[in-house]
Amino acid sequence: MYGSYPLPQALARGGGQRLLVAAGDPDTAELLTSVLELAGYRTGVADSGAELARRLAEHRFDLVVLDAELSGLDDLARGGRFEPAYRPPVLLLAACESLARLVPELRAGERDCVTKPFRIAELLARVKVLLRDVAGGRRGGMLDHADLVLDDGSCRARRGGRTLDLTPAEYRLLRHLLVNSRKVLSKEQISRYVWGEFRGGNAIEQLVSRLRRKVDGGGPALIHTRRGFGYWLGESSGPG
């Protein structure tokens, strides 16, 4: 079991926040709780949709780590009776890169997704970013530049009248570019924000290329390359 070994110092760590792990598979739940507790978080566990609703009604958690295959989620959605007093951010563990199943029945605040099989570095990085953004008051916020709008509340983006069909990695990249609009971001800065670690090769080039096709396909280019330095978002007159 991974929890038998100390976490590398380079991994993102918490400060005692209370996280609810919702996973029906005992091995997955044990792995998640072990990793999160070693990283400095306090954890609780729910093994079904009904247990998830009960735990959230009884205790306030700072974040929910939710396996998309948790049993009882559909029943929870159909029941329509679950209305928590607060909106916890949710990190969804899903088998494919899609935000379509981000459980609207949780009335979640800020949301993100990690694909399975997940990597520990990425999981901890996404947990830390979600908690940091909520603490900073950005939950449910809107980011925009020109006719490009990103809605953190629904994890959706649009340009003009077009809704952009983004993967979680593309969404995180676009968010990072928007937050830092007109600033050049290096490949390492982007990689550590998107995946929680540096990825060499052409991983960043491919990700930027896919996002650029979706964002800039129907209008003037907003995503630009500064050769030898990185990427930036803004009008073509150059970064400020």
DSSP 52-80: HHHHHHHS--SEEEEETT-TTHHHHHHH-
Same domain, 123 and 165: no
Pick the last residue of a domain from 135, 165, 184: 135
CA-only gyration radius of the chain, Å: 18
Q: Which domain holds residue 188?
A: 142-233
Say whether both 13 and 126 belong to one domain.
yes
So what's the pLDDT on residue 104? 45
pLDDT of residue 135: 62
Structural domains of the chain, count: 2
CA-nearest of 123, 228, 224, 220 to 182 is: 224
For residue 2, what pLDDT is reported?
A: 41
Separation between Cα atoms, residue 4 and residue 158, nearest integer Å: 44
> Whole-angstrom Cα distance, residue 25 to residue 43?
16
Contact 93, 68 (CB under 8 A): yes
Q: pLDDT tens string for the chain (240 positions)?
A: 343 445 655 566 777 899 999 999 999 999 999 999 999 999 999 999 889 988 888 888 889 999 988 888 766 655 444 555 556 788 888 865 444 444 444 444 567 788 888 888 889 988 988 887 666 555 446 778 888 988 876 778 989 888 999 988 899 899 889 888 889 999 998 998 888 888 888 999 999 999 999 999 877 899 999 999 999 999 876 665
Q: Are residues 113 and 217 in the same domain?
A: no
Copy the structure tokens of residue 211. Answer: 């996002």
pTM passes above 0.85:
no
Evaluate whether 3 touches 29 at the Cβ level (below 8 Å).
Answer: no
Same domain, yes or no: 152 and 197: yes
Angle CA 123–94–1, to nearest 5: 50
